[in-house]
Amino acid sequence: MTVLRSNFEPGTSRWATRRAQWRALGLTDEDMVKPKIAIVNSSSQLAICFSHLDEIARRAKRAIERAGGVAFEVRTAAPSDFITSAGHRGGYILSARDLITNDIEVAVEGALLDGMLCLASCDKTAPGQLMAAGRLNIPTVIVGCGYQPSGSYRGRHCDIEDVFLAAGHLANGQLTLPELTGMSENAVLGPGVCAGLGTANTMHVACEALGMSLPGTTPVRANSQPMWQAVEQAAGRIVEMVAEDLRPRDILTPDAFANAVMTVLAVSGSINSVKHLQAVAAEAECDADVYGLFERLAGQVPLLTAIRPNGDHSIEEFEDAGGARAVMIQLGGLLRTGAPTMTGATVGENLSGVAVADEEIIRPASRPLGRRPTIVLIRGSLAPAGGIVKLAVADDRRLEFSGPAVVYDSPDQALAAVRGGEVSGGEVVVLRGQGPTGSPGMGMASQLVFALDGAGLTGQVAVVTDGQLSGLVNKGIVVGEVSPEAAAGGPLALVKTGDQISIDVAARTADLAVPADELEERRRSLAARPPSPERGWLSIYQRLVGPLPAGAVLTGPGRPPDGAP
């Protein structure tokens, strides 16, 4: 029988005071010795993505009690990209991922609870919860809490990403304010994460591919019967996992990360999953080089599905075809089927006997949609530690671009230049100072990309930035998340307007055509960075965040100062 860490010796001070507190909450002496499960609820009334989680938490609590456990709901930060990005140049978005991890540590580790049932919703909740699971290493199940229903406008499909993209066309007269208003009124029809394979649904799928979520539960319609069944099953399973002492580090192995990377590549998922999966590996102290996996596996993994906005199929069709589990089945011999999972069985055992419901939506590996990777890791003299390009599924554009740089040090400056007609075809638009340290918190560069599209410059210019891009799809050749970032002294900090930049996506290179001796002279002449004006959480994040290739996790004692995983 597993000894529960939440139980203290009767008669001790810790036992007596805890008993007094919990008896006042209505717990019985019988409850005191049961497995104590944290229901991690990243809930908020600020955004529709979280608006259904409180009811999920209530039902999960009852299900855990029926399974023989005691449930305690704990809350964390709940960032929404479209809401929480308004302040401090979007710095609270990526940084909130690590805040979620630390929120969980304080509540769960402080109370020495025995297991966690994590309710995953918007983009940063799933990675933050996975990171906490890896760090605390107590039995954990991640529950994907579903995607929102989207609508239509003037006879065409309309979701939140359509609204985001359309806003870039308004300033250039291609869309009217009433049209944009109409789209925004019809894009979201209920609770859940953004429809389509953005970061949220990608990370929910990645949780299943890692073995940290129940097989066959991602993606899922929010508040649907399958979602409620998954909640019930996960609540029962977490109590069993505590008894079995099945922990995240038993599951989060190098093979598990390889499976997650292959699944993300096969569905053309969000590029944000790269840094998130690397962060999970770092917190789990797993020797998995996720960036290296994306580089090595990109040429081997076929593209098996094309879900909006990457293709014509809806997220509902993807779910109905079998979702993550069906993709893993179709990957066949590429998958590491011996990897353990939270069910207690291996990946191969979980997939045994399961059929793909629609092989036109989720193709077999022998009949893929394509073999060219849509998530491409770029290196070169401009991005020695890497950058990422996201390509559309059906993309036959020229994948090379050379031109003079035009450099901007803030999104506002770059957007003003686009709107003022100062950016011309043939140029490489450089937006820097947006990395985890420089922003701080990693600024969003997608507004610039969409503004360039609205100005009719897609395909005529390229973009290079150390900022974060939309997890869905980008327009034109866009190299994002360049590392080292400019604020860390990376080559991006040395670029001047007029410098020649060459990008070759097929060759996976991005180079700055400036002699090494001149770059060294520029480096010596760089002015020292002024003291940061940030205070509060962002100042802490700025001082402690590591580099992107290590997952941009917070550094500290026991972790190498360069942030290496």
Tell me the pTM: 0.94
Q: Using CB atoms within 10 A of its CB, is residue 450 exposed (0-12), middle (13-18) or buried (19+)?
A: buried
pLDDT of residue 165: 80
Q: Where in the chain are the domains?
A: 29-149+190-351, 155-188, 375-527
Handedness of CA 328, 331, 334, 337 (dihedral sign): positive
pLDDT of residue 354: 92
Along the 565 residues of the chain, how does pLDDT read in single tens digits? 578 999 999 999 999 999 999 999 999 999 999 999 999 999 999 999 999 999 999 999 999 999 999 999 999 999 998 899 888 888 899 999 999 999 999 999 999 999 999 999 999 999 999 999 999 999 999 999 999 999 999 999 898 888 888 887 776 678 899 999 999 999 999 999 999 899 999 999 999 999 999 999 999 999 999 999 999 999 999 999 999 999 999 999 999 999 999 999 999 999 999 999 999 999 999 999 999 999 999 999 999 999 988 888 999 999 999 999 999 999 999 999 999 999 999 999 999 999 999 999 999 999 999 888 889 999 999 999 999 998 876 555 568 999 999 999 999 999 999 989 999 999 999 999 999 999 899 888 888 988 898 888 988 999 999 998 875 556 778 999 999 999 999 999 999 999 999 999 999 999 999 998 999 888 888 876 676 788 899 999 999 999 999 999 998 543 433 333 3
Query: Annotated catalytic residue: which of 470, 483, 532, 539?
Result: 470
- Which two three-digit tokens encode residue 332? 């066949």
pLDDT of residue 528: 67
Place of tokens 């908020």: 44
Q: Do domains 29-149+190-351 and 375-527 have the same CATH topology?
A: no
pLDDT of residue 557: 43
CB 519 within 8 A of CB 491: yes
Stated as kind and residue range, the H or E segment containing 210 is helix 199-210
249: left (phi over 0), alpha (psi -120 to 50) or beta: alpha
Distance (Å, whole) CA 524 – CA 521: 5
- Which two three-digit tokens encode residue 392? 């559309």
Sequence-distant (6+) residues with CB within 8 A of 452 are: 168, 418, 423, 429, 458, 461, 463, 475, 476
CATH T-level topology, domain 375-527: Glucose Oxidase; domain 1 (3.50.30)
CB 109 within 8 A of CB 1: no
Quick check: helix, strand or coil at residue 265?
Answer: helix
Distance (Å, whole) CA 139 – CA 133: 8
The verdict on whether 95 is a catalytic residue reads: no
Q: Which DSSP state fits 109?
A: I
CATH T-level topology, domain 29-149+190-351: Rossmann fold (3.40.50)
Distance (Å, whole) CA 232 – CA 209: 20
